Amino acid sequence: MQERSSGEGPAAPATAPVARVPHLVRFLGLHMASGLAIGVVIASLMILSNLAGLKDLLVEAQEPFIAIFLLYAFNALTFGSVAMGIAVMTMPYDGICDMRDPGDGDDRGPLR
């Protein structure tokens, strides 16, 4: 027979700390996702509007899936990268942007 120790119940499982996504990673991820969505929409509009006969070329191709995949992938990559670049370049910065080493007395700038 098993003996029970008085006052002790089953041990509570140890809770691991919740990993939070850093703010800048969420910021860049949101802008990347919006850029990807814009790229997919633009690629779809290019095909649907038959821009420069693109839809006709895809219909007549033997393997249109490769061309469609490349069109969507590179549009998404381009617009996602542009959206991330715009997000980074428009971030507010309160400090002075000085490329020189603060301990360096040389006033020739970052290129020596």
Tokens of 92: 């507010």
Indicate the pTM of the whole model: 0.67
Task: Give the per-residue pLDDT at 21.
Answer: 84
Which amino acid, one-letter code, is at 108? R
Whether 67 contacts 61, CB under 8 Å: yes
DSSP single-letter state for residue 96: -
Separation of alpha carbons 83 and 30, rounded Å: 9
Task: Give the per-residue pLDDT at 1.
Answer: 55
Mean pLDDT (10-residue bins), the chain, 112 residues: 59 75 90 97 97 95 95 98 94 66 55 51
Q: Where are the domains of the chain?
A: 38-87
Q: Quick one: CA torsion of 40, 44, 50, 53, rounded to 10 degrees?
A: 40
Separation of alpha carbons 13 and 47, rounded Å: 55
Neighbours of 34 (CB within 10 A): 15
Separation of alpha carbons 47 and 57, rounded Å: 10
Neighbours of 107 (CB within 10 A): 6
